[in-house]
Amino acid sequence: MKAKKLIGALFISGAVFGTFAAEGISAEDWALYQEGINPGEVFAEEVGGALFEKPMGPEGKSCASCHTKNGEVEERVATAAAYYPKYDPSCGKVISLEQRIQLCQKKYQGVKPFSLKSKENTALTTYLFYLAAGTPINVDISSPVAKEYYEYGRYVFTLKRGKRHLSCQVCHEFAVGKLLRMQWLKPLGKDPVMGAEGSRAADHWPAFRMTKNKVQTLQQRFIGCQKQAGQKPLPLGSKEMVALELYVKSLSNGVELKTPGLRR
Ligand code: HEC
Ligand code: HEC
């Protein structure tokens, strides 16, 4: 494991450990936090990295067999996490990194792709985000199709849904700076909104969630909010979710990835 990547985990203060000690974290993960290790990085390397190297399909091709040169993952794949969701000409639409992985599994490995809900897809995604740590986020929102997705994503962000008639915007723009169940409501991008500092959400997801004891992607994090807000969750990989991801991620364009993160 690269030493520089562990530093990110060290900011976790004793107070935070104290809070989570009470929430049923496994003894194994507890030991990792105490050493300043982010279990998300272990997951990225040991589960995601192993899948990347694993030969699959009728011709026994691994991701690495196509994307590794001289023992290094080729640049465009190692930094792809900073540029997705991205327009894919063969699909004729904007796709998430999770879907790009599925595309390679189907098109180039000749296997049934891991589902977007699966641990395996999340592991490969987290591995690519781990490789891309330090790369500035730069999602395209200016080409015609990308722009359409960006605008649709902003629309989904502002759309009030569910029994409580809430939108993402209500909590992450209108109510920023207020406390909800002991958590501050924050804007999601790099810029402050009404004086409240942005959380730069896209720079630290996928993240290991201490309360869930597993790694979640940004889209999976959105589902957590949708459920809490009493909304029917949007399907992973749907046009709505991809557009929402593109919109939220664009709010952190220029910010370096610090993935995988470590969150409550
Ligand atoms: C047989 C070769 C082959 C295999 C195996 C393969 N890929 Fe690919 N991959 C490609 C090619 C060729 C492209 C670019 C052309 C395209 O868009 O289809 C690509 C594109 C990509 C991209 C997008 C890069 C960009 O610039 O947008 C990512 C990310 C990626 N592959 C990841 C993976 C992962 C993860 C696996 C294993 C699950 C995998 N690939 C398996 C050949 C392969
Ligand atoms: C009822 C209020 C509420 C609604 C509605 C809501 N959220 Fe949240 N959201 C929260 C709270 C509270 C947090 C936790 C704050 C934290 O992590 O510090 C959070 C956290 C997040 C995070 C993680 C932030 C980070 O920096 O790690 C993301 C991403 C997010 N929300 C996206 C969304 C999206 C997208 C929607 C709409 C589908 C949405 N939220 C709707 C209250 C809400």
pLDDT reported for residue 202:
98
> 104 in ligand 1 pocket by Cβ < 6 Å?
yes
Q: Which atom of ligand 2 is nearest to the CA of 207?
A: 27
Atom index in ligand 2 nearest the CA of residue 228 equals 1
Q: What is the pTM of this model?
A: 0.91
Any idea which ligand is nearest the CA of 91?
Answer: 1
The answer to whether the CB of 50 is under 6 A from ligand 1 is no
Domains 3-131 and 144-263 share a fold: yes
pLDDT at site 25: 61
Atom 28 of ligand 1: nearest residue by CA position: 77
Query: Closest-lying ligand to the alpha carbon of 125?
Result: 1
* DSSP code string of the chain: --HHHHGGGGG--HHHHHHHHTTT--HHHHHHHHTT--HHHHHIIIIIIHHHH--BTTTTB-HHHHHEETTEE-HHHHSGGGT-SEEETTTTEEE-HHHHHHHHIIIII-SPPPPTTSHHHHHHHHHHHHHTTTSBP----SSHHHHHHHHHHHHHHH--BTTTTB-HHIIIIITTT-EETTEE---SSSS-BTTBPP--GGGT-SEEETTTTEEE-HHHHHHHHHHHTTPPPPPTTSHHHHHHHHHHHHTTTTPBP--SEEE-
Pocket lining: 63 vs ligand 1, CB cutoff 6 Å: yes
Second CATH level (architecture) for the domain 3-131? Orthogonal Bundle (1.10)
Structure tokens at 260: 């995988």
Q: What is the pLDDT along the chain (264 residues), one digit of tens a residue?
A: 343 333 333 333 333 333 443 344 667 776 777 777 899 999 999 999 999 999 999 999 999 999 999 999 999 999 999 999 999 999 999 999 999 999 999 999 999 999 999 999 999 999 999 999 999 999 999 999 999 999 999 999 999 999 999 999 999 999 998 888 888 899 999 999 999 999 999 999 999 998 899 999 999 999 999 999 999 999 999 999 999 999 999 999 999 999 999 988
- CB 99 less than 6 A from any atom of ligand 1: no
For residues 121 and 111, the answer to whether their CB atoms sit within 8 Å is no
Domain boundaries along the sequence of the chain: 3-131, 144-263
Active-site residues, by number, are: 225
Q: Candidates 1.10.620.20, 3.20.130.10, 1.10.760.10, 3.30.70.100; correct CATH number of 144-263? A: 1.10.760.10
Is the C-beta atom of 223 inside 6 A of ligand 2? no
206 prior amide bond cis, ω within 30: yes
Query: What is the Å distance from ligand 1's center to 72 Cα?
Result: 15
